[in-house]
Each structure stands twice: as C-alpha cells, then as structure tokens.
Amino acid sequence: MEKTTIQRAVGVLILVGLWIRGASILAAAEQAYFAIQVVDESTGRGVPLVELETIHKLRFVTDSQGLVAIAEPELFDQQVYFSVRSHGYEYPADGFGFRGKAFHVKRGGSETIAIKRINLAERLYRVTGGGIYRDSVLLGKQTPPVAPLLNAGVIGCDSVMAASFRDRIYWFWGDTSRLNHPLGGNFHITGATSRLPGAEGLEPGIGINFDYFVESDGRLRGMAPMAGAGPTWISALTVLREPEGRERLYAGYVKIRNQLESYQWGVVAWDDATQQFTRIASYDNKPPLFLEPQAHTFLQTEADGKEYVYFCNPLPFTRVPATPEAYCDFSRYEGFSCLKTGTGPEAKELDRDRAGRLQYAWKPGTSPLTQQQAKQFIAEGKLEPRERRIALRDVVTGRAVEAHSGSVYWNDYRKRWVLITVELFGESSGLGEVWFAEADEPTGPWVYARKIVTHDRYSFYNPKQHPFFDQEGGRVIFFEGTYTHTFSGNPEATPRYDYNQIMYRLDLSRAELALPVAFYEVNSSNQDVRFVVRAGGTEPTFFAMEQATPGTIPMVWQQSRLEAGMASEETVAAFYALPMDLQTSPETTTPLYEYGHQETGRYVYRTDADWQQVGYFRTPVAVCRVWKGLEYSGPPER
C-alpha cells in the first residue's frame, strides 16, 4: 500500500515536471518571435494567405490561423513597415497610396491587423501540404486537431476528387509532391479518408483530419497504378450500388504522357482488399462522351423513375444510367445536345424540326455544345443567341463569363442547382476567378452569375463544392480548389501554399448572391397569363428577382394586369423588378412591355418592343425593367 502511494506521488511529480517543462518551452517559443496575426475585420477569424513584406523584400505569409512568426534578427528593436496584400482582401491605403502598417518589432511582442474581405466567399484554411500551421507551432499556439506541419510527407498535390462512401469521406488527388526529389512524389493518385462531420469528424470550418493511404514504410500508396508510361489521373468519382446491394466506388481514368497528352482512357473501381482502384475497362481511342479530368458527378432520379449519373465538366450535360454496367459502357453515355444524334460539333449539323425549332434532347453518343462552341455557332449564323442553354454572364456588368471547370449540386436552401466554377481568362487571372450561378434544371438555362473569389495573377483551378459539408440546410456551402502559379503567368510561387488545396466557405443568404432567375409564362384556368418560376422545359419569358433586393419593386397582379405595388398578405408579389424611372439602368435589364387585346381585354407581357399579334396593341408606358434572357450576348465591345 505504501509503495503504491509512493509510486503515485512520483508519477504526479513527473507529470508536474513535464507540464512545467512544456510550459517553459512554450514560453520560450513565444519569446523567440514577434507575432503578427491578420484577421477578417467582419468575423475576427485569422485569414490565411496574407502576404506581409518589409521594405527590403522580406516576405512572410500567414498560416491557416492568420499568424506569422518573425525571427529575423535585424528586425528586432526596430520600427518596421509591412505592406499587406492578399487575394480578395484589402488593407486601407494611406495618403500616399501605400497599403501597410509599421510596428515596433521586439521578441515576445505581438500585433493584430484587421483586413477587409472583398471576396464574397471566406478563405478558411489550406487543406493540404506542409506547414499548414507552421507559424502557430513556432509561436506555441494551439492548433486545430489536424497534422499542423506534415502529413504522410505531402507538400503539394493537384485537384481534388471526393465522395461520401459508406461511413467516411474518400479523398483523391492528382500528382503529388514530396520533399525528397522533384520526381519523388506520387503520380498515380494519392488518397485519404476522413470522418464525416457529426460522426467524429471535424466541423468543416475548422479543418479535415486526413488518414492517408500509405505503404508499410510510410511512402504514399498509388491509388490507381495503371500500366503504361506517365501519370494516371482519375475523374468522375461516383458511388454506385452493385447488383447484390453493396456500394462501390467507380471513376474514369486517363493516362498522360508527353506534356499533357492523353493516350489511354478507361474505368476503375475500388478494391476493398488492396485499398486501391483496379481497372475495369480501357480504350486506346477516346470515346465520344468520355470526360477528361476534372469531372464531378451527382446522381439524379428522373420523372420516369430512372436514376442517372450526371457528369459536370463543369455543367452536367452528359449522363448515363446509374448502374455499374452502364457506367463502364461508354456507348450508353448520352449528351444533352441540339446536334443531330450521333454527331459531334465538328459536323455542325443542328437538329431542327420542320418548323425550324431547335431540338434539345438526351441523345446517345452525341456531344453537347460547350459554351465556346455555341458562341462560334452564333457567330456563323447557325444558332440564335436565345437558343443557347449556357449564357453565363456577370450580373453586374453583363460581361460574358466562360466557365472552365467546376461542379454542380442541388441546393436545398436555394431550391435550385448550384454551380461553382472557375472562369477561363478572367479579368484578374487566367484561371483564378471563381463564380456562383444557379439554374432550375441541371441543363439550365445557366445565365446570371456572381464572382465570389478572385486571385490576382494566380490560378485556382478545378474548384469543387463538397455537398457533404453543407450546413443549415444548404445555406452555407464549402468548396476548395488548387492554388498554383501554373498557367497564371506569375513567376512567383507562394511558399508552402503553391500547388495545394485551399478551402472556402460561402453563405448563400448574402444579399449579393440574389440573382435574377428565369420566369416562365403560363396560362391559368381562366386564361389569364401568369409568370412562374421553376417551370423548366420551355424558354423563359424574362429574368427577374424572386425576392426583394435593394432597388427593386414588387410587381403584383391587379386582376389581370401587372402593376408596381406593395406586396401584402392579400397581394403577393409575382416578382421583383427595377422601376422604369431610373436615371441609369443596368445594361443587363430591359423594359417589360404590356400588350392589351382590343376586344377581350386580355393582357400579355413581352420584352420585345416590336411584338405583333392580331388584335393586340402596346400600352404607352412599360411596366418595369426586368433582366435580359438568353438572347442577350453581352455589352458592346469597347
């Protein structure tokens, strides 16, 4: 009994000693550095990827908690000016136009800088790579429960694929860098798993705990080591149910050689025994509807009860029945296309009926038109602008936005399909500006978009939303992308961040994300014209706001006529529009004209000032301004 008491006492003393030693180490760490934390002025949260630079070009980059630890001896006991800059964030300029602040730098000291967020989306943390919380560790600060410095030796990796599979999230990335050699990484897909939020997984605003797939010696295990020269890339990661009822992961793959040349295509499936992908089918010639990386998928059950896999690259205009057999058989893939069945865009054979109406439908082996191809068809006079399904444009300026890569998922909060995409050749970067858009159906129409993230002369390609992270019924969504100077023209790579994934969060209730939506004309039982949303399948009459936004007025029905009025419990707004008496109207808006019938007293509404039909006359004053639809091709070139 006495011996046990002595042992316990000794144990307590050891623990106390360790605690004191640990506290001393932390205190010493804090005293060795000068700490600066950069926080979002609206939330107080630390901002990652903020660059602080001295007059003599010493550059410090905040870690995922917005911290930098400064140990340069020449800076101590000096008044030091730091310029402050960050993609999508802004520090106020002084009277000379300089954006920065001077601090008295001393060991053990600390300062905080508040920075204004210009991006609509909030930058949260770096997902992958080395030194995610490097400065926090040096300063002895507590970090989220993820690997703060290095996990499985990964220092950089390309483009994410992710899916909720069984009881975990499975993550896969492309070419992956390690510290040992420029060619010493993994070029056959890196993989990891994490727990789902609410099932012992971290809240996605905090971070992700990755369990990487590694060999017994700690090396990264190639997830898809397909035979042949060059890297293996995968796309279209999809969870499908086998005939016996068990779920299995499937993906498309492509082999790459000679400066991004694709030379083999196929399908792989997850093998539980080897914890790798195994090849199911391969082709030496590219199938007509096989999507190159980076394609993402969702499953959707149609009105006829059939379930399909939709492929987004970035828009979901390709599908296949949601069975393993069909997924592996490229001859069963369909394109939502206006081309003649079995043709590609190079043939330029549009499918029109006898009346000249363009026929969009799901057609086997038929390519959908890309945004750029449709633009070319319009330039050649083969397609009318209103016949497009994609006319993405900036809701502010009307400028065309060409989507490059991204993902589409249903959003319960917006009750629409939501697109997160990067723009090709944007204003600040060739592949760094990220946009939000929404549509009634997966096939569109996709029209108005709002920029949510910008990267100045830096790429943020292949963004992907993670629907398994949605919060508050889809009001808050999360997405990530690959941050890299590749394809940007910028010769300077950001230390530690370059060629890694960064997570963003977007609140869909923000007023700036209220976009004009499609309104469709329908006839009620008494033959009065009404306008409804989410009708689908027909051409929209116009676009307008579904909810009140600053500057808009409610348009209400007074018996059979539209009038600007006050919505109330008795009178519900049909839609919200801009008044006609604005001094300056947005380029993207147009008058909505009222036409009355001389005999019946029936009224119809059109954006066409020259609309003609027997018995109808145009009333003198347009009722409001609505937003232009598919027919609008953007502001004139300047």
Distance CA 335, CA 353 (A): 19
**pLDDT (0 to 100) of residue 287:** 86
User: Both 46 and 90 in a single domain?
Assistant: yes
Query: Which two three-digit tokens encode residue 281?
Result: 């089918």
Q: Which of 117, 147, 166 is the last residue of a domain?
A: 117
The answer to whether residue 162 sits within a structural domain is no
Q: How many domains does the chain have?
A: 3
Any idea which residue has 């009277």 for tokens?
95
Beta carbons of 395 and 402 less than 8 angstroms apart: no
- Residues 256-266 have pLDDT tens digits of 998 789 999 99
Phi-psi region of 288 (alpha: psi -120 to 50; beta: other; left: phi over 0): alpha
Q: Please choose, from the candidates 600, 601, 597, the residue with its C-alpha nearest in 3D space to the C-alpha of residue 614.
A: 597
Distance CA 133, CA 108 (A): 19
Distance CA 256, CA 236 (A): 17
User: Both 407 and 477 in a single domain?
Assistant: yes
Sign of the dihedral defined by the CA atoms of residues 184, 185, 189, 193, in that order: positive
Distance CA 482, CA 60 (A): 21
User: Both 548 and 462 in a single domain?
Assistant: no
The answer to whether residue 435 sits within a structural domain is yes
Q: Which of 89, 117, 145 is the last residue of a domain?
A: 117
User: Both 485 and 556 in a single domain?
Assistant: no
- Collect the ranges in the chain with pLDDT lower than 70: 1-30, 292-293, 524-529, 537, 567-570, 636-638
- Residues 306-340 have pLDDT tens digits of 999 999 989 999 999 999 999 999 999 999 999 99
User: Both 51 and 87 in a single domain?
Assistant: yes
**pLDDT (0 to 100) of residue 18:** 47
DSSP string, 508-555: TT-GGG---EEEEEEE-TTS-EEEEES--SS--SEEEBSS--TT-EEE
CATH number for 106? 2.60.40.1120
The answer to whether residue 617 sits within a structural domain is yes
User: Both 544 and 454 in a single domain?
Assistant: no
**pLDDT (0 to 100) of residue 37:** 98
**Contacts of residue 217, Cβ cutoff 8 Å, sequence gap at least 6:** none
**Contacts of residue 129, Cβ cutoff 8 Å, sequence gap at least 6:** 154, 155, 156, 157, 496, 497, 499, 500, 501
> Which one-letter amino acid corresponds to residue 626?
V
For 575, other C-beta atoms within 10 Å of its C-beta total 24
Q: Can you give the residue range of the structural domain that contains 549?
A: 517-627
User: Both 497 and 531 in a single domain?
Assistant: no
**pLDDT (0 to 100) of residue 210:** 97
Note the pTM of the prediction, 2 decimals. Answer: 0.93
Residue 153, SS3?
A: coil
Starting at the earlier edge strand, list the strands of the sheet with 561-564.
561-564, 553-558, 575-577
The answer to whether residue 161 sits within a structural domain is no
User: Both 399 and 490 in a single domain?
Assistant: yes
User: Both 527 and 621 in a single domain?
Assistant: yes
User: Both 498 and 540 in a single domain?
Assistant: no
Phi-psi region of 29 (alpha: psi -120 to 50; beta: other; left: phi over 0): alpha
Q: Which of 448, 481, 509 is the last residue of a domain?
A: 509
